[in-house]
Structure 1
Amino acid sequence: MSSSLLPSLDEQSKSSTSLSNGEFTSMSSTAASFSRIIMSSSIRRSLGEADLSSAYESQISKSSRLRDNIHIQELTINKLQYDAVGLVGRETEVNTLRSCLDNLLIQEDHKNNNQNKKQVVFLKGYSGTGKTKLVNTALQKTTSMTENGMFVVGKFDFQSCDEPYSGIAAAFNEICRSMKNHSIEKKKRSSSLKEEAGGDDSSENDDDDDDDGDDGIGHAIASGLGSEISLLLRLIPDLDGLLPDSYQKTKAEPAGYNLDAGKMQFEYVFRVLTRVLTSFASPMVLVLDDLQWADVSSLEILDLLISDTENTNKLMIVGCYRSNEVNENHILYSVIEEISKKPEKQQFQLTQMEIESLNEDQSNKVIMAMLSIDNEERTKGLSEICFKRTNGNPFFLIEFITMLEEEDLISYNLGTLEWKWDKTVIEDRTMSTANVVDLLQARMRKLPDNVLLVMQYAACLGSSSVTLSIIDLLWTEHAVKILGKEKEDITKIFGRLEEANFLEFYGIDAYRFAHDKVKEAALSLGNVSSGSFQSEIGRILFLKLDKAMLEKVLFDVTDLMNKGEVYDTGELVELNIWAAEKAKHISAFNSALKYATKAMELLPERKWSTHRDVALRLYTMAAQLAFALRRTEETNRFIEQVLSQSSITTLEKAPTYITKIAKLTTSDMKPEDAVQTCLVALHDLGLSPGSMWTLPVRALASIFSTIKKTKKMPKEKFRNLSPLRNAKDEAIMTILFRLSYSAYMVKRHVMVMWATNEMVEITLARGVSKTSCLAFSTLGMLAGMAMKDYEAATYFSEVGLLLLKTEPSKYSESSTLASVCQFVLPYTYPLHSCAESILRSYKLGLQSGNFIATSWALQLHSILYPYVMGKRLGDILGRIRQNVSQMEDFKQPEQALLTRIFWQLMLNLAGQSNNPKKLKGTIFDAETFVPERPAQRGFIELAKLELFVFLGDYEQAAELALDAGGVAKGAPGHFLGMIEIFHRGVALYAMARKTKKRKFIKAADNIKSTVDKWAEQKNPNTQHYIMLLNAEQASLQKTKHTQADDQYRKAIALAARTGHIHQAALFNERYADFLFHRKTKTEHEYEAFQDLAEHHANEAIRLYRNWGAFAKVHMLEKERT
């Protein structure tokens, strides 16, 4: 969330106010001192001193470098001049990309300029058209020339297309390594300078240096992510190198049964990490290459990074993909379509580009450059053949020319100092060149066996696994036996492959293929593509790598072993379970389910007899994963497999029961079925509510007894409770909480009471679980709703929060705070004093993945509380679009919908709708919307009531009031019920004064008695309500008009003093109406009342204008004229 979305409630009308966010506010000052990021080896292989036009680098880098003991011969006059090839025909595309980067670079103050937006580019084209090299050429050098700029590429791989986050992880590991290397270099330079300056004469500020010399990056990461860092370390192990030496690693709160929350938590942490990194490396250009092979989880992260409105740092995201492999049915197509619909809402600038093959003239220019020939006519005949064979595909074209040289179809004559060729011979000899893969394979077949085998090993692996150490291991364990040769120096073999432009150096100890077509060609050559070859390679790695190294390449090894003959079923099952659990840990549920399904397929038919524990483990996890992916049929099948097994205890089935209950409650929208499933599970666990006929009496008696007994207990007793450590009791507590939630949804309040009472009793008798705090907060809600004992309700809420010290849970605390700020605290504390609790709920919800509570907290803090407190409508409306967008981003459509209802209400009041009295407009249309839940109906009725009351249509307002629906019925106990009940009373008294009908008077008096009780209980948020209702009641009796005058004045004064502008305006309006129609005995008295009425009417207009209710202002001004 943007910090500007959560200002202090007392200061929301001040534009300068914003939520403190300490983990980010210090970044800009620290980042200012962060000197230029040193690119890693893969990044530094930029155009360097070479001209910016050195395109298609992987094909033309033969003059690159000497490395280790590899000698690469320098280019001479008789060699093809790869480096001379420029970006032929790409001028427009280069300018477009640089323009996007310029838009980022020219933003002087990115954080304070609302017009600043991250740049998002999608570049598509056929394979080999030079998408990646175009991006490198256009952006890499420019980015690296900026003070803190970073250019990084994450590449997806067709061999590892199911590996979760492969390209994302590669990019972020690269970022972390680069930042760490920069810090090390900076520290070395600092030490050298100190030695030159006099050795021991160190600065007095040395003690203040970061303990890891990371320029503050590590501390910023530790501060921003806290214990949630652990969620990322398995995916981005190089992140560990950035953390301060003093950082104490702790595990993040486990998601448990709630995988949805775990995924949201993971995504939030990834966003925060990106914000921190881009605050130090600015601008950052993040290139994700070959997106057509990205897994679903990676595309979700891409969407999250693009739509993160809180990241206002200079970030440019470039996604490259093959247009010929992405049609309307491809998931990437859908993702890009969705992203293209929301640039304005999500504050980014989207550019979509397509790069095509070269035309015949452009192809000729490439050939001229490679052969150092200036005469277009001389190469025209050759270029015609080359164009015909390659269709102008740049990669294919360069490889084709390379092949012609290797086959001596073109050669350099040292006598004439010219290239020579025979057009007819070339045409005849190259007729069979069907595609670039065939051409590459022809070149590969000429390689020595040992060199070719090494390249084939590399082709079997994902891009992150092609390291010298792994290939050396495979050579030792496999190649020596296959080729019958002694161990060779792998670095020399890699040198040969690099010189041939098949591989390119990619950081310390790592290589990657120069182009995907090279890997494709190598993988389809010989028996490499066979499952037996690849599974053999995978098994060698599985058996020979240590656990830490195997963890890094786990997905690659598992995929390889899954492709061929099964050597050891148990071994492969455990490997797939390991991969599934790792994927689950990083919230890559599609991949996790794939591995879990593979493991299940390997089990024998009688698995529940022969492999009971493994089967239970797998099917339980598969049910959770399938539900998280909303795959209904699979979820049902996995659940049935577990629950139908008689050999499994109910306790062992509990996680699957919980998955089924969650599915019934949410995706199936069958809360009644969820209630029944809860009762079945509880019965099997030994707990039952007994006879349903007598349950209402028993439950009510029990809850009243528990409330009476528990509110007398000192807090010290709760502090001394031990954690609950019995697995069966933990399962019962979890299911009881699910039962109370499902029962509340279907208004089975008796069942809510029973479940809550049982949770409280278990906590007191056996110990504290993670749901105990929720149990006591629910007990507080029941104390308020059933007994109107808000003092006890507040006490139970405090006890619930106190129990979190015994059994900490950010998720539960976030839910508890969000609940009590809606149902308990507003009855005993001023709304503005709840701000801190709401903000904590919001923050903890983000950290724990509890986006339900986070969205409620956001709605409370930014919309509902400000509205009820009378904050200016313009200020609320200024934030609300962003609020709704973020709720939708959090996948919380219910909160977004309820917020839209209030959004339309405020637009109507502000005069931004055609018919202010109708809840209908561009944001929400009550006339066409069909409510599906009580809360939806309640919010709609409340919004209509607010419009009718504030816009003076008391007749319709009174009709709604007599129906007694709204929030008070749809969401019993919700604090909005207070303003709703009060405005019902206002409408009914208004109609009573107008019509003198008894039904209005009686109904209004009943409402007043409710508000009287609030006042007696010292509800701080309704004191002005009762004063106004006292005045309205007194105004009905002539003998009490003086009393009415006094109460009106007091109500107006209190509303104004407490900042309730809207109520002060309404009270002035009501008092003016009373005075205008007041009967008098004398002309003088009449004129005095008229003058006073005019004053209060004008005051009402002034206050409505200050509030921003311009529809009401125009209405009153029109009436006055």
Structure 2
Amino acid sequence: MSDRFLIPEKLYGRQHEVETLLAAFARVKGSRTTEMILVAGVPGVGKTAVVNEVHKVIAQQHRYFIEGTFDRLKRDIPLSGLIQALEDLIEQLLTETDAEIQQWKAKILSALGEQAQIIIDVLPKLELIIGKQPIVNELSGIAAQHRFNFFLKKFIQIFTTKEHPLVIFLDNLHWADAASLNFIQFFMSGSDINLKNLTLSYSLLEDKKRDDDTEGGLLILGAYRNNEFSRTHPLSLTLNEIRKTKARIHSINIETLNQANSNSLIADILCCAEKVAIPLNQMVFAKTKGNPFLIHRFLKFLYYEEAIQFHVDTGHWQCDLTKVKALALTDDVVEFMILQMEKLPTHTKKLLKLAACIGNSFDLNTLSIVYQKSVVDTAGDLWTALVEGLILLEVDVVNDKLLLTQNPSSGIISNQEPKQLPNANSKLPQYKFVHDRVRQAAYSLIPEAKKQSILGKATKFMIEIPMVSQKNLTPTSPKLVEKLR
């Protein structure tokens, strides 16, 4: 029994889906196959949560799991989600020992040869591993696109060994740009490229012949909203083309929870027998239709409205069913989140609006620059959103300066206010919205007349922020966008 209102991090009613993904990982592990699993479902149904269960298993086996998210507001940036995933891979490589990094350096240079700069142009941090590389010959039009796709594929294949398969998770595929969809089709269908037209060296042409002998296992997981999907959707057309080849591609549909699973969740939260939770579950299920994200948010809403309280004298949770029945819940998740955000302090709402313009993930340094306040003031103004579980902390602050003990969404968080942040040399925290629907709600709070100016200002600041190794070629850089186009 606990007097803290905690949302369990376990999954309910997802055993079959998790087992299906783990079986796919087992198939590519120890083989040279490439497989793609599509995870479909409506917003908030828990697609990412199911994939994260697989991530836990992969992490325990010390395999590479990388992820990137496509952004509705950044669909004009080529390969944004894929580049984000590969940046994740570079970050993981940089945490390894010097000896291991040297081994990866040798493999990367062996695979890419004198063309490594092509990949550095989109992954600047790769230079920290392989050093400066010679400038490559300029190509134009379709030749440049073919050359880029070929070497990006070779770069990914470096990390797909039979002993250590690579798993790439691409979230929100329904927002993927044309360049990303074209590359996925090229990668999965095994499309060939007339390399002789790319004026590449003979040694690289020979390397291509040996690819079949060196390829390892690769599992691509893609999540998308099937309620925003049609036969004419670009993703649908791309998948149809992939299916015409011998590529291994499967789909999983994530359904909303049934009443039994919803009841188990509520019983675990209230630390009571499942039969005791039935009356509350019936009301919650009627309002949420079994959507896990909406169930979590509505239960927290009931707790904040004191419809659910812990009584110290009895040592149990009690629920005022009359009050629950009176509290309205809109069918639109975004509208419901807007209603919740309206109760936040003005400065917190302003920060969330700016953060929504940056992306699903954002770091404290970037947000403070856009906010035009110090990182200490920015973190303080953001604190309420963190406590409310609207955003999560991805990178822990050195020495626990923000007083977090675990995932804020679970409710395990100190009631104390943040007192100080690390000095300028410490790594500042990275945040993310708990769900892209929360970010959508924050973005919708911006008046239409101001959206373009605020979004443009945020993008301008992001472009001007230098990256590690003093490079300013970021995924939002006009130079990079022009290169990839």
2:475–2:481: 8 Å Cα contact kept in structure 1? Answer: no
**What code does the residue aligned with 1:163 have?**
I
Residue 933 of structure 1 corresponds to which residue in structure 2? none
SS at 2:159's partner residue? helix
| The one of 129, 132, 138 aligned to 1:242 | 129
* Cα offsets for 1:940-974 (capped at 9, x unmatched): xxxxxxxxxxxxxxxxxxxxxxxxxxxxxxxxxxx
Residue 473 of structure 1 corresponds to which residue in structure 2? 369
1:399–1:436: 8 Å Cα contact kept in structure 2? Answer: no
Residue 434 of structure 1 corresponds to which residue in structure 2? 331
Residue 902 of structure 1 corresponds to which residue in structure 2? none
Shift of 1:487: 7.8
| The one of 309, 313, 331 aligned to 1:415 | 313
Residue 146 of structure 2 corresponds to which residue in structure 1? 264
* 2-structure distance, mates of 1:499, 1:96: 35
Shift of 1:506: 3.3
1:217–1:280: 8 Å Cα contact kept in structure 2? Answer: no
| The one of 389, 399, 411 aligned to 1:501 | 389
**Count, aligned residues:** 430
* Cα offsets for 1:486-512 (capped at 9, x unmatched): 984333444443332222233454222
Shift of 1:78: 1.8
2:40–2:252: 8 Å Cα contact kept in structure 1? Answer: yes
Shift of 1:422: 2.2
Structure 1 segment 813-962 matched on structure 2, within 5 A: none
Structure 1 pair 341–436 and aligned structure 2 pair: CA distance change class (3 A): same
* 2-structure distance, mates of 1:157, 1:506: 18
* 1-structure distance, mates of 2:184, 2:268: 39
Structure 1 pair 536–326 and aligned structure 2 pair: CA distance change class (3 A): closer
Residue 56 of structure 2 corresponds to which residue in structure 1? 141
**What code does the residue aligned with 2:41 have?**
G
**What code does the residue aligned with 2:339 have?**
A
Structure 1 segment 547-946 matched on structure 2, within 5 A: 551-552=473-474, 554=476, 579=478, 581-586=479-484, 589=485
1:400–1:439: 8 Å Cα contact kept in structure 2? Answer: no
Structure 1 pair 306–447 and aligned structure 2 pair: CA distance change class (3 A): same
Residue 364 of structure 1 corresponds to which residue in structure 2? 263
* 1-structure distance, mates of 2:285, 2:257: 9
Structure 1 pair 513–378 and aligned structure 2 pair: CA distance change class (3 A): same
Query: What is the CA RMSD across the aligned residues, in angstroms?
Result: 2.5
1:150–1:282: 8 Å Cα contact kept in structure 2? Answer: yes
* Cα offsets for 1:524-560 (capped at 9, x unmatched): 11437833542563376279646967642635xxxxx
Residue 31 of structure 1 corresponds to which residue in structure 2? none
2:459–2:476: 8 Å Cα contact kept in structure 1? Answer: no
* 2-structure distance, mates of 1:93, 1:157: 25
* 1-structure distance, mates of 2:447, 2:343: 17
* 2-structure distance, mates of 1:438, 1:411: 26
* 1-structure distance, mates of 2:453, 2:325: 38
Alignment of 1:223 onto 2:126: no
Structure 1 segment 1096-1111 matched on structure 2, within 5 A: none
| The one of 285, 290, 293 aligned to 2:172 | 290
Alignment of 1:82 onto 2:31: no
* 2-structure distance, mates of 1:101, 1:542: 36
Structure 1 pair 549–406 and aligned structure 2 pair: CA distance change class (3 A): farther
| The one of 253, 271, 294 aligned to 1:354 | 253
SS at 2:160's partner residue? helix
* Cα offsets for 1:1017-1036 (capped at 9, x unmatched): xxxxxxxxxxxxxxxxxxxx
SS at 1:122's partner residue? strand
* Cα offsets for 1:108-128 (capped at 9, x unmatched): xx3xxxxx5222101101111
1:128–1:395: 8 Å Cα contact kept in structure 2? Answer: yes
SS at 1:151's partner residue? strand
Structure 1 segment 99-110 matched on structure 2, within 5 A: 99-105=23-29, 107=30, 110=31
1:81–1:372: 8 Å Cα contact kept in structure 2? Answer: no
TM-score computed with the length of structure 1 as normaliser:
0.37
Residue 82 of structure 2 corresponds to which residue in structure 1? 168
* 2-structure distance, mates of 1:487, 1:181: 26
**What code does the residue aligned with 1:239 have?**
L
* 1-structure distance, mates of 2:71, 2:460: 22
2:124–2:471: 8 Å Cα contact kept in structure 1? Answer: no
- Please, which runs of 5 or more residues in structure 1 have no aligned partner? 1-75, 111-115, 188-209, 481-485, 556-578, 590-1121
**What code does the residue aligned with 2:137 have?**
E
**What code does the residue aligned with 2:84 have?**
A
Residue 435 of structure 2 corresponds to which residue in structure 1? 515
Residue 279 of structure 2 corresponds to which residue in structure 1? 381
Residue 457 of structure 1 corresponds to which residue in structure 2? 354
SS at 1:285's partner residue? strand
Shift of 1:274: 0.8
**What code does the residue aligned with 1:360 have?**
Q
SS at 2:215's partner residue? coil
Shift of 1:330: 0.4
Residue 627 of structure 1 corresponds to which residue in structure 2? none
* 2-structure distance, mates of 1:228, 1:543: 26
* Cα offsets for 1:54-110 (capped at 9, x unmatched): xxxxxxxxxxxxxxxxxxxxxx82222213x532111111111111112223x3xx3
SS at 1:383's partner residue? helix
SS at 1:387's partner residue? helix
1:154–1:287: 8 Å Cα contact kept in structure 2? Answer: yes
Structure 1 segment 1056-1075 matched on structure 2, within 5 A: none
* Cα offsets for 1:335-381 (capped at 9, x unmatched): 112222223xx4xx32211011011222111111111112x232212
- Select between 280-289 and 165-174 the one with higher mean Cα deviation: 280-289
Structure 1 segment 330-349 matched on structure 2, within 5 A: 330-343=233-246, 346=247, 349=248
Structure 1 pair 249–281 and aligned structure 2 pair: CA distance change class (3 A): farther
* Cα offsets for 1:668-726 (capped at 9, x unmatched): xxxxxxxxxxxxxxxxxxxxxxxxxxxxxxxxxxxxxxxxxxxxxxxxxxxxxxxxxxx
* 2-structure distance, mates of 1:286, 1:540: 30
**What code does the residue aligned with 1:94 have?**
V
Shift of 1:239: 1.5
**What code does the residue aligned with 2:182 have?**
E
* 2-structure distance, mates of 1:101, 1:410: 41
* 2-structure distance, mates of 1:280, 1:215: 20
Alignment of 1:252 onto 2:136: yes
2:358–2:458: 8 Å Cα contact kept in structure 1? Answer: no
**What code does the residue aligned with 1:499 have?**
V
1:475–1:487: 8 Å Cα contact kept in structure 2? Answer: no
2:44–2:292: 8 Å Cα contact kept in structure 1? Answer: yes
* 2-structure distance, mates of 1:444, 1:140: 31
Structure 1 pair 544–273 and aligned structure 2 pair: CA distance change class (3 A): closer
Residue 15 of structure 2 corresponds to which residue in structure 1? 91
1:494–1:503: 8 Å Cα contact kept in structure 2? Answer: no
Residue 40 of structure 2 corresponds to which residue in structure 1? 124
* Cα offsets for 1:175-232 (capped at 9, x unmatched): 01101111xxx24xxxxxxxxxxxxxxxxxxxxxx6xx61411121112112322122
Structure 1 pair 438–228 and aligned structure 2 pair: CA distance change class (3 A): same
* 1-structure distance, mates of 2:241, 2:475: 33
* 2-structure distance, mates of 1:542, 1:134: 32
**What code does the residue aligned with 1:367 have?**
I
**What code does the residue aligned with 1:88 have?**
Y
2:162–2:217: 8 Å Cα contact kept in structure 1? Answer: no
**What code does the residue aligned with 1:175 have?**
L
2:68–2:83: 8 Å Cα contact kept in structure 1? Answer: yes
* Cα offsets for 1:129-169 (capped at 9, x unmatched): 100110111x112212225x111111111121222111100
Structure 1 pair 237–452 and aligned structure 2 pair: CA distance change class (3 A): same
Structure 1 pair 234–174 and aligned structure 2 pair: CA distance change class (3 A): same
SS at 1:260's partner residue? helix
* 2-structure distance, mates of 1:491, 1:371: 32
* 2-structure distance, mates of 1:296, 1:236: 20
